[in-house]
Structure 1
Amino acid sequence: MAVTPDIPLIDVSTWRSSGPEERAVLARRLDRAMQDSGFFMVSGHGIDPQLSADLRAAASRFFAQPDAVKEQYRTPVGGRGWIRTGDEANAYYGEEIDPDRADLKETLTFGREHTTGDPAIDEVYFRPNVYPAEVPELHELVPAWIGAARALYRDLLEMLATALGLDEQYFVVRAENSPNTFNINRYPSLGVVGAAGEDQYRIAPHTDWGLVTILDRQPGYGGLQVQTLDGEWADAPFVEGAMTINIADLLARWTGDRWRSTKHRVLAPSDRAPGEELYSIICFCEPDMDQIVEPLAPPVGGGVHYDPVRAADYFDERNAAASVDTPVAAGATLEV
Structure 2
Amino acid sequence: MQPLLQVPVIDIAPFRTGGAAEKRKVTQLVDQACTDIGFLVISGHGVPQALIDEIDAVSRLFFDLPVAEKLAVKRPAPDVTRGYIPLEAESVARSRGEENAPGDLNESLMIGPVDVTDAPYYTAEAAGRHFHPNLWPAQPAGLRDVYTRYYRAMSDLAVVLMRIFALALDMPERFFDDKVDRHISRLRVRNYPAPETLPKPGQLRVGAHSDYGSLTILKTEANPGGLQVINKAGAWVDVPIVPSTFVINLGELMARWTNDRWVSTLHRVINPPMDKAAGSRRQSIVFFHNPNYDAEIRCIDSCVADGVAAKYPVTTSGDHLRNQFVRTQAM
Per the normalisation by structure 1, the TM-score is 0.90
1:228 has 2:231 as partner: yes
Distance 1:299 1:64, change over 3 A: closer
What residue identity is the alignment partner of 1:248? G
Contact 2:37 2:232 in 1 (8 A): yes
Indicate which of 176, 181, 190 corresponds to 1:176: 181
**1:23-62 equivalences in 2 (<5 Å):** 23-62=23-62
2:198 is matched with: 195
CA contact (8 A) 1:88 1:103 kept: yes
Q: Secondary structure at the match of 2:268?
A: strand
8 Å contact 1:195–1:269 — kept in the other structure? no
Contact 2:110/2:187 (CA < 8 Å) preserved in 1? Answer: yes
Structure 1 gaps of 5+ residues are 326-336
Q: By how many angstroms is 1:53 displaced?
A: 2.0
Q: CA deviation at 1:300?
A: 5.8
1:138 aligns to 2:119 (yes or no): no
Identity level (%): 28
- Does the 8 Å CA contact 1:11/1:44 hold for their aligned counterparts? yes
Residues 261 and 303 in structure 2, CA contact (< 8 A), matched pair in contact too? no
The residue matched to 1:124 in structure 2 has which SS?
coil
Matches within 5 A, 1:95-134: 95-98=97-100, 101-115=102-116, 117-118=120-121, 119-134=124-139
Tell whether 2:68 aligns with 1:68: yes
- Alpha-carbon contact 1:292-1:309 (below 8 Å) kept: yes
2:171 corresponds to which of 154, 166, 173: 166
Whichever residue aligns with residue 186 of structure 1, its letter is N
Which ranges of structure 2 fall in alignment gaps of 5 or more residues? none
Q: How many positions carry a matched residue from both structures?
A: 320
Report the equivalent of 1:281. Answer: 285
Residue of structure 1 equivalent to 2:208? 205
Q: 2-side partners of 1:308 and 1:250: how far apart?
A: 11
1:245, distance to aligned residue in structure 2 (A):
0.3
Whether contact under 8 Å (1:4, 1:234) holds in the other structure is no
Equivalence map 1:182-331=2 (5 Å) = 182-191=187-196, 194-275=197-278, 276-299=280-303, 304-325=310-331
Q: Are the equivalent residues in 2 in contact too, given 1:149–1:214 (CA < 8 A)?
A: yes
Aligned in 2, Cα 1:237/1:4: closer, same or farther, shift over 3 Å?
Answer: farther
Cα deviation code 1:24-74 (max 9, x no counterpart)? 121111111111111111112122222222222212222122222222111
Alignment check: 8 A CA contact 1:10 1:40 kept: yes
CA shift for structure 1 position 86: 1.7
- How far did residue 114 of structure 1 move? 3.1
Asked if 1 retains the 8 angstrom alpha-carbon contact of 2:81 and 2:186, the reply is no
Once residues 284 and 163 of structure 2 are traced to their aligned partners in structure 1, the CA distance between those partners, rounded to angstroms, is 25
* Distance in 2, Cα, partners of 1:117 & 1:11: 40
Are the aligned partners of 1:257 and 1:304 in contact in 2 as well (CA < 8 Å)? Answer: no
* Residue in 1 that maps onto 2:160: 155
Q: Residue 312 of structure 2 aligns to which amino acid in structure 1?
A: Y
Q: Which amino acid aligns with 1:288?
A: N
How far 1:296 sits from its partner (Å)? 2.1
Q: Per-residue displacement from partner, 1:101-131 (whole Å, max 9, x unpaired)? A: 1100000111111336332254511111111
- The farther-off stretch of 155-164 and 114-123 is 114-123
For residues 273 and 175 of structure 1, the distance between their equivalents in structure 2, rounded to whole angstroms, comes to 42
**Structure 2 vs 1, CA of residues 159 and 300 (structure 1 numbering), >3 Å: closer, same or farther?**
farther
Alpha carbon RMSD of aligned pairs, Å? Answer: 1.9
**Relative to 1, partners in 2 of residues 1:16 and 1:262: Cα closer, same or farther, differing over 3 Å?**
same
The normalised TM-score by structure 2 is 0.91
1:92 touches 1:263 (CA, 8 Å); kept in 2? no
| Contact in 2 for aligned 1:92/1:207 (Cα 8 Å) | no
For 1:278, the aligned partner's letter is R
Residue 298 of structure 1 deviates from its aligned partner by: 4.9
Instruction: Give, in whole Å, the separation in 1 of the partners of 2:292 and 2:203.
Output: 33
| 1:133-175 deviation digits (Å, cap 9, x = unpaired) | 0212111100111111111101100000000000000112211
